[in-house]
């Protein structure tokens, strides 16, 4: 009765089901690992935002290194002065309300002699042209203390200054410490990453908009997808069984029972004379 299960067609169905189930199990674990990563990132971001400010020298790694994810959004302070001569505008940045504009990124020379790129805030893109330079408020002068949140370098190491070719002078697509130092002729190797400025001491008035911290990653979807993939695993043997019993009944000459409310398919006799 079940010898048809050894036909070439059914052997293909068996192999397909046997391959599909472990694939779905793996996809479920993949989504679960994505949930764990997002949950860990959210917790780390919350801890760093709630932590007290620390001196940049105790947080930022040395030159040539990267800012680890455990330091993202960590609030740090530094004392020194702005170098407005090498200031750049980072394009395609969104305001807190969703408008398109620029980040104003200025080197900050600390009293220790280190150079740290500081995102002073957001400025709106001019209406005249998307490549026109906006009116940027001058950076505070003199020695002051800046406080802000650490952010990692943007872009890959292979993209380099070439990613900025074709842009107006002092406009960039990515805020990458080493790449900016080369493209602006800074003349010093900066510390990795950047600081998103939140305040200065003494307080300096500025019309630049301070970027808000984005919300954490959505973890609910990863959990839902995990459950979906593992439920699908249970559906594979059910579908396999229904296909098998259906073909078994067809080969035995039996038709499936009609549903309770299914109309009779036989033609009804005509009442016409």
pLDDT of 210 higher than 70? yes
For residues 151 and 246, state if they share a domain: no
For residues 15 and 107, state if they share a domain: no
For residues 92 and 190, state if they share a domain: yes
Asked if residue 69 is part of any domain, the answer here is no
Q: Are strands 88-94 and 171-172 parallel, antiparallel or unpaired?
A: parallel
Q: How many CA atoms lie within 13 A of 190 on its CB side?
A: 28
For residues 21 and 114, state if they share a domain: no
Task: Please give the Cα distance from 148 to 78 (Å, whole number).
Answer: 9
For residues 183 and 224, state if they share a domain: no
Sign of the dihedral through C-alpha 41, 116, 126, 132: negative
pLDDT of 268 higher than 70? no
For residues 127 and 233, state if they share a domain: no
Residue 75 φ/ψ, nearest 5 degrees? -85, 125
Region for 238 from its dihedrals, namely left if φ exceeds 0, alpha if ψ lies in -120 to 50, beta otherwise: alpha
Task: Please give the Cα distance from 232 to 172 (Å, whole number).
Answer: 47
CATH of the domain at 150: 2.40.50
Task: Please give the Cα distance from 9 to 20 (Å, whole number).
Answer: 17
Tokens (6 digits) for 37: 């990563």
Residues ≥6 apart with Cβ < 8 Å to 223: 31, 32, 35
For residues 228 and 151, state if they share a domain: no
For residues 80 and 175, state if they share a domain: yes
For residues 18 and 85, state if they share a domain: no
pLDDT of 252 higher than 50? yes
Sign of the dihedral through C-alpha 234, 238, 239, 240: positive
Asked if residue 183 is part of any domain, the answer here is yes
For the chain, what is the mean pLDDT? 85
pLDDT of 119 higher than 60? yes
Q: Identify the band that residue 1 occupies on the pLDDT scale cut at 50, 70 and 90.
A: low
Residue 190 near residue 116, CB atoms below 8 Å: yes
Asked if residue 56 is part of any domain, the answer here is no
For residues 195 and 103, state if they share a domain: yes
- 80-99 pLDDT tens trace: 999 999 999 999 999 999 89
Supply the angle between the helices 220-251 and 8-50 in degrees, to the nearest 10: 170
pTM of this prediction?
A: 0.73
For residues 192 and 80, state if they share a domain: yes
Where does residue 119 rank: exposed (0-12), middle (13-18), buried (19+ CB within 10 A)?
A: buried
Region for 195 from its dihedrals, namely left if φ exceeds 0, alpha if ψ lies in -120 to 50, beta otherwise: beta
Asked if residue 256 is part of any domain, the answer here is no
Q: What is the pLDDT of residue 153?
A: 93
Strand partners, 145: 79, 201
Residues 228-257: what's their mean pLDDT?
A: 83
Residues 180-208: what's their mean pLDDT?
A: 89
CA-wise closest residue to 207 among 118, 132, 140: 140
Residues 7-30: what's their mean pLDDT?
A: 91
Asked if residue 267 is part of any domain, the answer here is no
pLDDT of 159 higher than 80? no
List the single range of 81-95, 96-110, 146-160, 258-272 with lowest mean pLDDT: 258-272
- 38-95 pLDDT tens trace: 898 888 889 989 999 999 988 887 777 888 888 999 999 999 999 999 999 999 999 9
Region for 41 from its dihedrals, namely left if φ exceeds 0, alpha if ψ lies in -120 to 50, beta otherwise: alpha
Asked if residue 99 is part of any domain, the answer here is yes
For residues 229 and 175, state if they share a domain: no
Q: How many domains does the chain have?
A: 2
List the single range of 127-131, 136-140, 160-164 with lowest mean pLDDT: 160-164
- The angle formed by the CA atoms of residues 162, 154 and 133, to the nearest 5 degrees, is 65
Q: Identify the band that residue 238 occupies on the pLDDT scale cut at 50, 70 and 90.
A: very high
- 162-178 pLDDT tens trace: 455 678 888 999 999 99
Range of the domain at 31: 3-39+219-251
Asked if residue 63 is part of any domain, the answer here is no
Asked if residue 195 is part of any domain, the answer here is yes
Q: What is the pLDDT of residue 160?
A: 47
């Amino acid at each position: 009765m079940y010898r048809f299960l050894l036909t070439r067609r059914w052997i293909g169905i068996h192999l397909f089901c046997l391959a599909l189930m472990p694939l779905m199990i793996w996809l479920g674990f993949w989504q679960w690992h994505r949930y764990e990563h997002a949950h860990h990132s959210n917790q780390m971001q919350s801890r760093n935002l709630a932590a007290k400010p620390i001196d940049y020298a105790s947080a930022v790694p040395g030159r040539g290194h990267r800012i680890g994810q455990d330091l993202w959004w960590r609030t740090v302070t530094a004392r020194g002065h702005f170098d407005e001569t090498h200031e750049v505008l980072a394009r395609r940045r969104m305001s807190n309300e969703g408008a398109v504009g620029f980040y104003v990124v200025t080197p900050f020379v600390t009293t220790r002699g280190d150079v740290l790129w500081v995102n002073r805030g957001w400025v709106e893109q001019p209406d005249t042209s998307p490549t026109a330079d906006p009116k940027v408020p001058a950076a505070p002068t003199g020695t002051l203390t800046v406080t802000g949140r650490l952010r990692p370098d943007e872009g890959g190491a292979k993209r380099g200054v070439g990613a900025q070719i074709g842009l107006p002078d002092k406009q960039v697509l990515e805020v990458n410490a080493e790449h900016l130092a080369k493209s602006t002729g800074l003349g010093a190797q900066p510390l990795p990453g950047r600081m998103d400025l939140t305040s200065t001491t003494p307080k300096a008035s500025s019309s630049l908009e301070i970027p808000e911290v984005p919300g954490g990653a959505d973890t609910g979807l990863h959990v839902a997808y995990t459950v979906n993939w593992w439920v699908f695993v249970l559906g594979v043997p059910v579908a396999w069984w229904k296909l098998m019993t259906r073909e078994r009944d067809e080969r035995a000459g039996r038709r499936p029972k009609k549903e309770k409310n299914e109309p009779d398919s036989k033609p009804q006799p005509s009442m016409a004379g």
